[in-house]
Structure 1
C-alpha cells in the first residue's frame, strides 16, 4: 500500500491556496472570529480534494529461486563408466530433492567439450555463467556442480561470476583412486630427416606412493620402435631418428598399474615435422647435348638441391695426340663418386650415358646395389641406349625396368598419359594433359624397349612406353625413354610442363609421401578429419576410423579425381585416431596433443575446495563406500548464507517479486469527497449562524 497524488491544479497554485487558507485562519484566530477552525478544515478539505490523493495497492507474485545444476560431461567423466553411472544417479537425486521446494527453479546444464574446440578441457564456470546470464544475481540461490573435480577454468576472482550464492560440489569417483600417466616434457617441433633428436618424457603416478619402474613402448608412424624403462616422477631422456619428411607421429605407451582409474592417459603423442636437408643429386651427362641444360637449370634453380654435375667431354678412346698436361679438363673422379661417396647422394641421374670405358663394370654393380639398398636412379635415355654401348648391357641391367630392343622410333608424336598415368601422382593433372591431343609440343624420337616392369605412366607413338617407374629392392628407378624434353623447355610448339614433370619424377624417386601411387593419408583441421586414399587401381572401398576410445566407424570414400578418393568426417572425440583401408594404415591426431582433459584423471576435491569454502557451499563425495551413492538434502535459507552445516546444500531463497498490477483508490473522489466538503461547509454555516 502507498499514497500518491494526481493534482487537478499545478502544485504551485495549490501552495498559494494553502498559504491564503493559513492567512485567513490566522486572522480569524487572532481576532477570535467564531468558526475559524471549521473554516480551516473546509479549506484543507478543498485543497486535499484538488490535490486528488490516491491510495495505491500493488499486486505482486514472488519469483522463483534459480538453482543451476552443472553436470560435468567431459571425457574424464564419460570415458570412465562408473563415474558416468554415478553422475546420472546423482542428477536424478538432486532433481527429486529440488522438486520438493516449489519456490526453487532448477536449471540443468551439461558441460561438455564443444565439437569446435581443439583443446579438450572441463569448463564448468564458463557453462555456469552462460546458464544464468539472463537471471538477476538476486534470484540465484546457489549452484551445484556434479563433477570429478578436475576443472580447468576456476576463476581467480569469484566476483567475476556476478553472483553471491553458495557453490556446492558433488564429487564423483572414489576417495582412494590412483592413476598413472605419461607426459612429454620437452621435445622439438622440427627435425632433420635422418638425424637424431632428443626429447624428455615423464611418467607420473598419482594417488600412490609405491612407484616401480615402468616400461614405455614407442611407435613411430605406427611402426614399433622399441621400449625403454622410466622411473615415475623423474625426467627420462629419449633419442630417436626422424624417419621421413612431413608430419611424423611419435606414440609413447606406458605400462599400466593394476586397478588404476583409466588407461586413457597412459599414452602420450608428439608430432614432429621432418625437414629434409638439401638433397644431394649426382648428374652425369654422357656427352654435351641440347637436353643437358634443361636438367641442369631445373636442378640448379631448386635451393633445396645440392647438384654435382659431370659431363663426359673426352672419352678414353679418343686419341688425337694432345698431351695430357695441356688438357684443361677435370679428370672424372669415378672411384670417389661411385665407391667412396655413392651413398651420400639421394639421387643419381644418368643423362644419355653410355658405357665407353669411363666406368669399370664393377662400378655399375655398385650403382645397382645402391638402388637395391634404397637409392634412387633416373635414366634419361637417348639414341645411345639402343646402341651396342648401352648401359643395359652392364650389371646395371639388374635394376632397370626395361631392356632396349636396339631400335629407335623416329617421327613426331605427342607424349600422352597412359591409363595408369592419369591416376599416378607423378603425371596426373599435368597442365594440358586433359585434351586430345595434349596441349603441348611434340617430341621426335624415343627408345624402343621390351615390355617394361613397373608402371608405364607416359607413352610415345603407338602407345609405346615413354616414362616407366619401378621399384627395385628398397630403391626406385625411373626411365625416360627420350631425350627430347628440352623441346618443351625451349617452347617448341608451345612447349610443355617439363619443370613439373622432371621435379615430380625426382621427388617420387626420393620417396616423397605426396607422390606415392598407393597411399593412405589423413589430416585434421580442428575437429574435421579428411581422409585421402591414392591408388592406381580400382575403388579401394570404405575406410575404417578407430577412435581413441576404441570405437570403430566405417566411412565411404568417394572419387574426387582419377586415382584419388577422399572422405570428410567431423569427429566428436579428440586424441590419436587410426585410419585403415585394406593393408594401409595411418595415424592422425585431432585436437591439441597436450590437452588438459587427459592429464590428471583422479577424482579430487582440491581444485574446487577454495571456491566451496569462500561461498559457504558444500563439498560432498557421492560414493558411500558401500557400492552406492549418498546425496545430501537441500536447506533453504532466508537471507545471506554465512555458514554451512556440512551436511546439507544451502540455497539462499530470493525475496524478489514480479509486479502484476496496481489498484488505485481516489480518496476525495465521488460521494465521499462531496460529503466531506458539504459537511465542512454546513458546519461552517451552522457555526457562523449562531
Structure 2
C-alpha cells in the first residue's frame, strides 16, 4: 500500500492557497480571535480536499526463479556412457528442483551445433544466448552438466549479465586416460614424387608417458611407412605424394587398453599433389599437318617440358648429300629409349612407323616402360595399317588393338560411344550432346580388330576411333586417325580438340579426376559430398561410418552419365570413412586440430575458477561406485555472500509482476464531505455564540 496525491488544482495554486490560509490562521492567533482553532481545521480539511490524497493498493504476483541447466551435448560427451549419465542427472535434477516452489528449471542443450566452424564446446555462449531475455535478478543459478572440457570459459571468470552461482556437475570418472595423435605441422601441397615432411606428436592424457609407440602412415588408403615415437615428443615423418590432385594422408597410433575412446587415435591431412614440369617425348614419324596441333597444345602448357623429334631423314633415304653438310640433329635413340626412358611421364608416337630408326630391341624396352607405370599414346595414320607398322614390333604386347591392314577412307562424324558418354575423358565434351555432333568431319581412320580396352569414341560405321587401355602399372591410348588437326583448323566449325587431347594426356598420367572407377568424398562445412564414377550400372548406396562408429547409408543419384553424387549432413566432427562396392575413402569434417578432440578425459579443473568466483561448486557425478549422486540444494534470499562446499546454492528472486491497482481517496465520497461539513459547521456554530 502506498500514499499518493491527485490534486484537483495545480500544485502552485494549492500552495498559494495554503500560504494565505496560514497567514489568516496566524493573524487570528495573534489577535486571539475566538474560534481560530476551529477555522484552522476547516481550512486544513479544504486544502486536503483540493490535494486529494489517495491510498493505492497494488496487487502483485511473485515471479519464479530461473535455474538454467546447461546440458553439454558436444562430441566428447558421446564416449564412455557420458550421454546416458548426463540425461539421468538432468532428470534427477529437475525432480529435485520441483520440490521447491518458485523455482523454474530451464534446460539448455548446449554446444551441439552452434553453426560455427570452430568445432569446440561453446557451452557458455549457448547459456548466455538463451538467457539474454531473462532479467539478471531472476536467475537463481546456472548448473552445467558437462565433462568439464569447455572451450569458451570467460577469462575474468564472470558471466556477462548473470549475478548468480555457477555450479558444475562433471560426467565421466576419475582416473580416465586417453591416447591421441595430433599433427603439429603439415604441408598443404607438395610436388609429386618429392619428399615431404610432417611433424607429429602422440599424447597420453591422464597417464604418464610409457614405452615408445608405433605410428602408421597411409596415403590414399595404402600403408607407406612406419615409425617409432616417444609419447609426448615431436616426431618427423617423411613421405612422397604419389598422385597429382588431392592425396589423403592418414596417420594413426595403436590403441591402449582401457582408453576412453579411439576416435582421436588417427587423423588425416588432405595434401594437394602438384606435378613438377611433366616431361613429354613427342616423336613424329614424318612432317604432316597434324603434328603442329600436338606441338602447339603441349608447348602452350607451362607445366610441360616437351622434347619433340620429327624423323626427316630415315636411314633408307639416300640423296647424296654429305653428312657434314646436313643441319639435322641425329636422333639420340639410346639416350632416349634406354638411358632416360624412365624420366618421361608420357611418350607420344605421332604417325610413327618402323623404318630402322629404332632398333627392334628398343620396342621391347618401351613395352616394359609401359608395364612399369609409364604412359604411351599412339596417333595413327595410314602407315599404321602398312607393313612397317609398329604394331608388328615387340610393342604389340601392350597394344589394345591390332590393325587389319585396311584404311577406312570416307567422311564421318566422330561420336562418343555408349561407354564414352560415361568415361570422364570424353564425358561432357562440348557439342557431343547433339546428333550428329556439332563437330567437323574427319575423312579417314585405321581399321583394327576388336580391341581389348575401352572404346570411348567411334569412327565410321561404329568402328573404334579412340581406345584406352591399362597394361600392368601403366596406360596406353590409341587414336586411330590423324585427322584431329581438322578441328584445330576449325574445318566445318572444328571441334573440342584441346579438351580431348588434354584429357587423354592427363588420363595417361593418372590424373585422379579422370579415373573411370573412383570414389571420392570431401567435406564442405557440416556436409559430406560423396562422388562415385563408374562405367558400369548405377552403384549401390554408400555407407558412411562416423567417428563414433555409427553407420549411415547414403543414396547416390546420377548427376551425369557415369557420375553419381550424394550429400550427407552431419553434426559430428572428425574422421569419416566412406565405402561403396570395393572402394573406400576417408574424409575429415571440421578442422584437423579441432579442440573437441584435443582432450577427451573429463576434468573438474577448468570449471573450478568460474564456480569459485560465483560462490558455486564443482561436483563429480560418479564417485566411483557406478551410480550418480547429486549434491543437496540450498536456497537463499538476497546476495550470496559465502559458498557451501557441499550444497548447490540457489539465489531466490524477489521480483514480482503487477497484476492490478485499487485506489481509495481520503477526501472523496461521504468521508470527505463529512469532514468538510464538520469543519465549516463547527466554525459557524462557534461564530454564532
Q: TM-score, normalised by structure 1?
A: 0.98
> Which shows bigger deviation, 34-43 or 632-641?
34-43
Query: How many angstroms does 1:167 deviate by?
Result: 0.3
Task: Give yes or no for the alignment of 1:300 onto 2:317.
Answer: no
Q: Give the conservation status (yes or no) of the 8 Å contact 1:488–1:498.
A: yes
Aligned to 2:477: 478
Query: How many angstroms does 1:158 deviate by?
Result: 4.0
Query: How many angstroms does 1:484 deviate by?
Result: 0.5
Task: Give yes or no for the alignment of 1:27 onto 2:27.
Answer: yes
CA-to-aligned-CA distance 1:270-290 (integer Å, 9 cap, x gap): 221111112111111111110
Query: How many angstroms does 1:174 deviate by?
Result: 1.5
Report the 3-state secondary structure (helix = DSSP H, G, I; strand = E; otherwise coil) of the residue aligned with 2:558. strand
CA-to-aligned-CA distance 1:55-74 (integer Å, 9 cap, x gap): 11111111111110111121
Report the 3-state secondary structure (helix = DSSP H, G, I; strand = E; otherwise coil) of the residue aligned with 1:132. helix
For residues 288-687 of structure 1, the aligned pairs below 5 Å read 288-687=287-686
Q: Give the conservation status (yes or no) of the 8 Å contact 1:407–1:448.
A: yes
For residues 63-462 of structure 1, the aligned pairs below 5 Å read 63-81=63-81, 83-114=82-113, 116-159=115-158, 161-209=160-208, 211-462=210-461
Report the 3-state secondary structure (helix = DSSP H, G, I; strand = E; otherwise coil) of the residue aligned with 1:133. helix
Aligned to 2:42: 42
CA-to-aligned-CA distance 1:176-207 (integer Å, 9 cap, x gap): 22221111111111111111111111111122
Q: Give the conservation status (yes or no) of the 8 Å contact 2:7–2:51.
A: yes
Aligned to 1:56: 56
1:411 to 1:210, Cα distance in 2 relative to 1, 3 A: closer
> Which shows bigger deviation, 112-121 or 389-398?
112-121
CA-to-aligned-CA distance 1:286-344 (integer Å, 9 cap, x gap): 11110111111111111221111111111121111111111111111111111111111
Report the 3-state secondary structure (helix = DSSP H, G, I; strand = E; otherwise coil) of the residue aligned with 1:322. coil
> Which shows bigger deviation, 456-465 or 220-229?
220-229
Report the 3-state secondary structure (helix = DSSP H, G, I; strand = E; otherwise coil) of the residue aligned with 1:306. strand
Q: Give the conservation status (yes or no) of the 8 Å contact 1:117–1:527.
A: no
Query: How many angstroms does 1:572 deviate by?
Result: 3.0
CA distance in 1, matches of 2:120, 2:316: 76
CA distance in 2, matches of 1:206, 1:587: 26
Query: How many angstroms does 1:438 deviate by?
Result: 0.9
Report the 3-state secondary structure (helix = DSSP H, G, I; strand = E; otherwise coil) of the residue aligned with 1:141. strand
CA-to-aligned-CA distance 1:535-568 (integer Å, 9 cap, x gap): 1111222222122222222222222221112212
Q: Give the conservation status (yes or no) of the 8 Å contact 2:194–2:241.
A: yes
CA distance in 2, matches of 1:226, 1:159: 49
Report the 3-state secondary structure (helix = DSSP H, G, I; strand = E; otherwise coil) of the residue aligned with 1:259. coil
Q: Give the conservation status (yes or no) of the 8 Å contact 2:141–2:649.
A: yes
Report the 3-state secondary structure (helix = DSSP H, G, I; strand = E; otherwise coil) of the residue aligned with 2:50. helix
Q: Give the conservation status (yes or no) of the 8 Å contact 1:409–1:447.
A: yes
1:541 to 1:57, Cα distance in 2 relative to 1, 3 A: same
CA distance in 1, matches of 2:299, 2:597: 49
CA-to-aligned-CA distance 1:220-257 (integer Å, 9 cap, x gap): 22222232211111111111111212222222221222
Report the 3-state secondary structure (helix = DSSP H, G, I; strand = E; otherwise coil) of the residue aligned with 2:292. helix
CA distance in 2, matches of 1:529, 1:458: 34
Query: How many angstroms does 1:115 deviate by?
Result: 7.6
CA distance in 2, matches of 1:537, 1:627: 54
Report the 3-state secondary structure (helix = DSSP H, G, I; strand = E; otherwise coil) of the residue aligned with 2:505. helix
CA distance in 1, matches of 2:235, 2:626: 39
1:593 to 1:449, Cα distance in 2 relative to 1, 3 A: same
CA distance in 2, matches of 1:637, 1:347: 83
1:537 to 1:483, Cα distance in 2 relative to 1, 3 A: same
CA-to-aligned-CA distance 1:320-374 (integer Å, 9 cap, x gap): 1111111111111111111111111111111111111111112111111110100
> Which shows bigger deviation, 369-378 or 180-189?
180-189
Q: Give the conservation status (yes or no) of the 8 Å contact 1:113–1:120.
A: no
Q: Give the conservation status (yes or no) of the 8 Å contact 1:350–1:380.
A: yes
CA distance in 1, matches of 2:503, 2:356: 32
Report the 3-state secondary structure (helix = DSSP H, G, I; strand = E; otherwise coil) of the residue aligned with 1:308. strand
Query: How many angstroms does 1:89 deviate by?
Result: 2.1
Report the 3-state secondary structure (helix = DSSP H, G, I; strand = E; otherwise coil) of the residue aligned with 1:33. coil
Q: How many residues align?
A: 689
Q: Give the conservation status (yes or no) of the 8 Å contact 1:115–1:572.
A: no
CA distance in 1, matches of 2:556, 2:305: 40
CA-to-aligned-CA distance 1:89-116 (integer Å, 9 cap, x gap): 2112211221111111111111242184
Q: Give the conservation status (yes or no) of the 8 Å contact 1:118–1:590.
A: no
Query: How many angstroms does 1:120 deviate by?
Result: 2.4
CA distance in 2, matches of 1:468, 1:624: 71
Q: TM-score, normalised by structure 2?
A: 0.98
Report the 3-state secondary structure (helix = DSSP H, G, I; strand = E; otherwise coil) of the residue aligned with 1:14. helix
CA distance in 2, matches of 1:139, 1:551: 42
